[in-house]
Chain A
């Protein structure tokens, strides 16, 4: 086991190469630039390739192309680049091409604040491209160590599901430094719970089955398998057809291959949920770090407060929100994106509240103030808001 102090960006690179990534195409952007930097140094050492593209749109197209040609590939960016991934992301979904995409969220919209964390791409990660008719897999780490482990997992899931997987990190995960343990032996990897899957080739002539089947290797172009691969509505053999009748089949597959196998994807962390807590705090990514400290300290004071942290963010883990309680969504955005999902998933006689910050983490002191108000049934009034209405 190697152990050192490094950034999440570095940890992600280690995880990707460990998972078999051999091509990275990207365009540098704060706070994910160091991934490009580390990839450019480390990929050639293992026989891999680093490509700096002319922009993010080109970068992800290149990575998708290389993945369709049989390589395990990755790209990394932040919000302003992620939005330019929209077109190639759709290609990867529609053509069932495995690829790993990292989005280190900063403060938006548009360029926003470069060196500060945000979580404004909660929904954007769910709907990264146009057209609908698909589910997406999104994983959200809250530390450099977890970012490394989820990078390995993202490669595994992308192969099993024949689909892109997004790692939705934030600036503090990728730019912050932490002690990181990198496993070196197979035993160490197994002990850490890492899962790996080699790239295999689907021997056609069919392109896809009109079922929810997973563990089907991807079509690899140029391998002379007879399978076609099309971004237009395809037949099961992969020929363009563009008919309403034909469109139902790939749509069903893209939705239900993920929706029917969430047990393979689901990951979460929960704390103190066994005694019907008065408040359940919900958060993901680095916001959950201070939330966890705040919840533990509140318990020491005798307050009945619990915590839910979705790690697999999409598909959204509705089943975690089965308790009647007062829910509090803590997010690094001001518009309360996850509030809506929690509200949809929770029992209808529960309450939902929101505390948002942007560019910095909520402090433990701030969270304790919020807990106190909620326990006294006082309305929350975040700075700038007259009334908390959801």
Chain B
């Protein structure tokens, strides 16, 4: 494992980007990682972009900044334009309903139809971030343990547990099957 894993999540206010980061952060702490999480704040939360920067390490973390993301969960074109260039060797997980990607980019870019799947399979777009969480968990290939992430998510989101569980599984299968 690398000594430092950087995860970036960004989208519009209200999409659950900070919640997504919080679940990953708490789950990582449960797995024994040292964790830092910075969240964007202020007017950005009312319509602008929202950003969560997570760093995971087995050692004490100095810089909490994400400068070279290993994973980038992106839920808006604006966020993709603003931060996409930072991803060099990492993986981009994007929702094609909301993000237009640069096809020429050489890094790994995986389409996660989170919003569409949430509406079709669960009836509401609100589960899109849980689908993205499942997809991210799958994409990390065991770094984030599936059982732990699922349990952490169900603990942090108090309502609609069955729907969220299903959403997580749907997302997980998108990056593992």
A→B interface (CB under 8 Å): 3-5, 30-31, 113-116, 171-172, 175-179, 286, 289-290, 292-294, 296, 361, 363-365
Contacts and interface: CB of A to CB of B under 8 A. Distances in A.
A290 B38 contact: no
Contacts of A116: 41-42
The DSSP consensus for interface residues of chain B is: mixed
A177 B25 contact: yes
The 7 closest A-B pairs by CB, nearest first: A115-B41, A115-B42, A293-B63, A177-B37, A292-B62, A290-B63, A293-B62
A289 B63 contact: yes
A86 B57 CA distance: 42
A172 B26 CA distance: 18
B65 interface: yes
Contacts, number: 71
A289 B62 contact: yes
A342 to B, nearest CB: 21
A3 B29 contact: yes
Interface of B: 22, 25-26, 28-29, 33-42, 44, 61-65, 67
A181 to B, nearest CB: 10
Contact of B64 (A3, A171, A176, A365): A176
B65 A290 contact: yes
A31 B34 CA distance: 23
Given A115-B44, A178-B64, A289-B65, 5 more contacts: A31-B41, A115-B42, A171-B41, A290-B63, A364-B63
B65 A363 contact: yes
15 contacts: A3-B29, A5-B25, A5-B28, A114-B41, A115-B44, A172-B38, A177-B35, A177-B37, A178-B35, A178-B61, A179-B34, A290-B65, A293-B62, A293-B63, A361-B63
Given A289-B64, A293-B63, A364-B63, A114 B42 contact: yes
B22 to A, nearest CB: 7
A296 B62 contact: yes
A5 B28 CA distance: 9
B67 A5 contact: no
Contacts of A178: 35-37, 61, 64
Interface centre among B34, B36, B40 (most CB of A within 10 A): B36
Interface centre among B22, B28, B40, B41 (most CB of A within 10 A): B41
A178 B28 CA distance: 11
Contacts of B65: 289-290, 361, 363-364
A116 B39 CA distance: 10
Contacts of B67: 363-365
Nearest to B34: A179
A176 B62 contact: no
Nearest to B56: A179
B53 to A, nearest CB: 9
B26 A4 contact: yes
Given A4-B26, A5-B29, A177 B62 contact: no
Contacts of B38: 172, 176-177
A5 B41 contact: no
A175 B39 contact: yes
Contacts of B34: 179
A179 B33 contact: yes
B56 to A, nearest CB: 10
Contacts of A292: 62-63
A176 B62 CA distance: 13
Contact of B26 (A5, A31, A171): A5
A5 B42 contact: no
Contacts of A175: 39, 41
A178 B53 CA distance: 11
Nearest to A176: B38
A289 B34 CA distance: 15
A1 to B, nearest CB: 13
Nearest to A177: B37
A5 B22 contact: yes
Contacts of A4: 26, 29
B10 to A, nearest CB: 15
Contacts of B22: 5, 177
Contacts of A289: 62-65
B18 to A, nearest CB: 10
A5 B62 contact: no
A116 B43 CA distance: 11
Nearest to B64: A289
Contacts of B64: 172, 176, 178, 286, 289, 361
Given A4-B26, A5-B25, A114-B42, A176 B36 contact: yes
B62 A290 contact: yes
A115 B42 CA distance: 5
Contacts of B28: 5
A5 to B, nearest CB: 5
A297 B61 CA distance: 14
